[in-house]
Amino acid sequence: MGSENESPEVKFVRWFEHLDGTDIASVGGKSANLGVLADLDVPVLPGFSTTAAAYDHFLEETDVRSDLHDALEGLDPEDISDLQDRGKRIRRLLEEAPMPSELENRLGEAYRELADRLNVADPAVAVRSSATAEDLPTASFAGQQETVLNVTGEAELIDAVRTCYASLFTDRAIAYRERHGFDHFDVKLACAVQKMGRSDLASSGVLFTLDPDTGFENVTVIEGAYGLGELVVQGEVDPDRYVVFKPTDGIIEKTVGEKATRMRHRDGGTAVEQVPDEERHRYALSDEQIRSLSSYATRIEDHFDRPMDVEWLLDGELDQLFIVQARPETVHGVSDETVIRTSRLEERGTELLTGVSIGNAVGVGRARILDDVREMDRLEEGDVLVTEMTDPDWVPVLKRASAIITERGGKTSHAAIVSRELGVPAIVGTGRARKVLRDGDEITVDCTGETGRVYEGELEYTVDEETVSDVPDTDTDVRLILGDPDRAFSLAALPVDGIGLAREEFIVTSQVGAHPLELIARDDAASFIDALRTGIAKIAAAFYPNRVIVRLSDFKSDEYRNLEGGRKYEPEEDNPMIGWRGAARYYDDDFRDAFFLECEALRRVREDVGLDNVTVMVPFCRTPAEGERVLKLMDEFGLSGDDLDVYVMAELPSNIVLADRFAELFDGFSIGSNDLTQLTLGVDRNSEKLAALFDESDDAVTRSIRSLIEEAHRHDRPVGICGDAPSTISGYTEFLLDAGIDSISVSPDVAIETILRVSEIERG
């Protein structure tokens, strides 16, 4: 730590390798963290930091401190116009003040020493603001102060430091300090001066050591685009998105962004240029680089013992990754909350627009279309802000919005980050919001899925809360039924024993939309495999290492016909419910190639991502001979039964009658009570006239279930049940536990209720 008796060489400048986490008061959070990173096995661009003492010296020697006090006297941060006027006056004072000679000399000496270390005359450097109250576990000043890039020569360095000093008084920074009770003069500014990474020749971006939307901690979420990182941070470019599962270092998800523009160095400054079409649809990082970044992020997180928000770059000259800065993630990192809030629309309206969803919530209000930050006085409390993009200057009014819609940006853009911090749902990257929406119209912003949707009118919605603390353990496993991968991370905190039924059909319908044979015909089978692999991996990762049972596709022919191209490949059946579905499809020559795509997706989930908690389940398997054919084909397609558990759905009377023979083939059973009831009682479950006869508690059904459990247990095979009967039929859970069921799978909304009920029954 510095002191008043230190020489200017130490008092005003500190090299990164001499800094650690105790130096925040001296050099700010950003510079102190870089010092910590320099001691870890994490690549950091070389450089030094100015100190808080240097900032104080600047204020005293230039006699501007009293002027700053006067300019801030009587400030009302809610008066946007007055805030802007005062901020502009303060910044001009600091930018025009002469640099004190003692400080100027020391900065020049440090810059020349850096040049010697790099063996480059007048090296290009980046000068990044580092506030002494920045990046604290309980507050984030990130993005409020200036970064000056491509600074060359001592004169430019002096100007850049002055610019950073002035940026301590941006409108956003002033308002933030007022709102959080920080004295303006208790927060000081240091400057991290680093070798300029040549990401303009490669790529750069940001990452979080958790999922920033849900707080799920087992993943690293990386966003990146070509060129300098400012366009990613500011939300001006649609970046690639990569999700890495930390326990296995497997890549769960890769989404290519448009990456239409990039910022590069040009003529001593920077310029934004268009990216050639052939480059836009390539990934900005290789799989090896993605995993390396995740590994660095994990080391950083382990050291700081909290979730982190990290900026990175790939130097195109050196072909090497560097960590630019790391700070605590403040939205989820400080929360010990154990309440899961689930928003749900209760009605549907006309869909107007879609984009990237931020915040897992719903917002309603009048659309307020603003083309420029100078119009932000028009935004009233409860309005939905609609604009091209936001930057730090928007922050004083963003908290007024019930929701935010932008045309540009990704999950880690400015609008996304700030919306999470403020608890405001947002949809970013819509592309055409200002053309589609009309100023003053009432709209609903639904951010409850991966895809955000804007609906016409103010729709009804509810917010459910579930407390997940102090939930008892149960001898009987309670699992979830889940088909939507977009909900997986947000539900991971539920104290359940994994997933009892993950339906492939939801993923195919929502993420693919085309018949698999149609995609094969188009030579686009890879898109089917990738979408299915990603969806399954997200669910399996969320509940790792608990068992996740993935049911192979169980589309009926009429459902397959509704997919794009489906009519070319599907027969018209009089009764698809008992037609060409389930196991009978997989080995059929007319569907075999499509079944390979499913097996390949599952193989990649288990082998490439490393999610060996996935169990495969075969639906609608009519006979043991059919089961043998399916298992043989799965083995041929890379899903070997030697290291993979395969269950069978028990939903046909034949599964009950021949339970002993099915038990010799399969590793477990899962009761599909709807189909079992339908086929046992001969009742079409879709018939309104026969609805009164459809009864899962009928003796014929319950005796079948009891018989199956007894026979399966004689063969040491577990039995679960998937369906709503335990939560909707009085006494059904008691019956299942009395029969010896091993697991009960229910929808997420009744999971806690089911756990409590099972515990109560088990305790007697």
**In the chain, what are the domain boundaries?**
8-196, 200-328, 339-464, 468-763
Return the CA Rg of the chain: 30
- Read off the pLDDT band of 333 (50, 70, 90): very low
Spatial neighbors of 236 by CB under 8 A, at least 6 apart, are 230, 261, 389, 408, 409, 413
| Helices and strands (H and E) in the chain: how many | 29, 30
Q: In which residue are the tokens 């200036």 written?
A: 146
Q: Are 160 and 148 in contact (CB under 8 A)?
A: yes
The confidence score (pLDDT) of residue 421 equals 58
CATH architecture of 339-464: 3-Layer(bba) Sandwich (3.50)
Axis-axis angle for helices 65-72, 52-62 (nearest 10): 90
Homologous superfamily in CATH for domain 8-196: ATP-grasp fold, A domain (3.30.1490.20)
What share of the chain has pLDDT > 70, as a percent?
Answer: 93
List the structure tokens of 254.
Answer: 């890769």
Report the pLDDT value the prediction gives residue 334, as an integer from 0 to 100: 42
Q: Give the pLDDT of residue 74.
A: 84
Residue 5 pLDDT more than 50? no
Return the pLDDT at 137: 45
For the chain, the straight-line distance linking the first and the last C-alpha, in angstroms and rounded, comes to 63
- Over residues 349-356, the mean pLDDT reads 92
User: What pLDDT is attached to residue 336?
Assistant: 42
Query: What integer pLDDT is reported at residue 461 of this predicted model?
Result: 93
Please tell me which residue, 115 or 728, carries the higher pLDDT value: 115
How confident is the model over 69-81, as a mean pLDDT?
85
User: Are the C-beta atoms of 389 and 407 separated by less than 8 Å?
Assistant: yes
Q: Which residue has the higher pLDDT, 105 or 145?
A: 105
At residue 457, does pLDDT exceed 60? yes
Residues 241 and 228: their CA atoms lie apart, in Å, by 17
According to the model, what pLDDT value does residue 441 have? 94
- pLDDT tens, position by position, 14-25: 999 999 889 999
What is residue 734's predicted lDDT score, i.e. its pLDDT? 97
Categorize the per-residue pLDDT at 339 as very low, low, confident or very high, splitting at 50, 70 and 90. Answer: low
> Which string of b and e fits 103-135 if b means at least 16 CB within 10 Å?
bbebbeebbeebbeeeeeeebbbbbbbbbbbbb
Decide if pLDDT at 9 tops 80.
no
Q: What integer pLDDT is reported at residue 7 of this predicted model?
A: 52
* pLDDT 10s digits, 231-286: 888 788 999 999 999 999 999 999 999 999 999 988 877 899 999 999 999 999 99
**Residue 180 among the catalytic residues:** no
Q: Is the pLDDT of residue 422 over 80?
A: no
What kind of architecture, by CATH, is found in domain 200-328?
A: 2-Layer Sandwich (3.30)
Mean pLDDT of 94-108: 94
Say which residues have a Cβ less than 8 Å from residue 575's Cβ, sequence separation at least 6: none
- Which residue carries 């990738």 as its tokens? 530
CB 129 within 8 A of CB 147: yes
Q: Looking at residues 695-709, what average pLDDT do you find?
A: 96
pTM over 0.85: no
| Predicted pLDDT at 392 | 57
Residue range 611-652, pLDDT digits in tens: 999 999 999 999 999 999 999 999 999 998 788 999 999 999
pLDDT band at 2 (very low <50, low <70, confident <90, very high): very low
Instruction: Read off φ and ψ for residue 670, nearest 5 degrees.
Output: -135, 120
User: Which is the catalytic residue, given 265, 332, 414, 515?
Assistant: 414
Fold classification of 468-763 (topology level): TIM Barrel (3.20.20)
Model confidence pLDDT, tens digit, residues 463-515: 887 766 678 999 999 999 988 898 899 889 889 999 999 999 988 988 898 99
- pLDDT tens, position by position, 276-326: 999 999 999 999 999 999 999 999 999 989 999 999 999 998 899 999 888
660-683 residue pLDDT tens: 999 999 999 999 998 999 999 998
For the cut 60, the answer to whether the pLDDT of residue 526 exceeds it is yes
Confidence band for 1, pLDDT divided at 50, 70 and 90: very low
Residue 421: count of CB within 10 angstroms of its CB: 15
Residue 346 vs residues 66, 79, 466: alpha-carbon distances, Å = 57, 38, 18
281 is catalytic: no
Question: 261 and 273 in contact (C-beta within 8 Å)?
Answer: yes
Q: To the nearest whole number, what is the mean pLDDT of the chain?
A: 90
Q: What is the pLDDT of residue 337?
A: 41
Q: Quick check: 553 and 621 in contact, CB under 8 A?
A: no
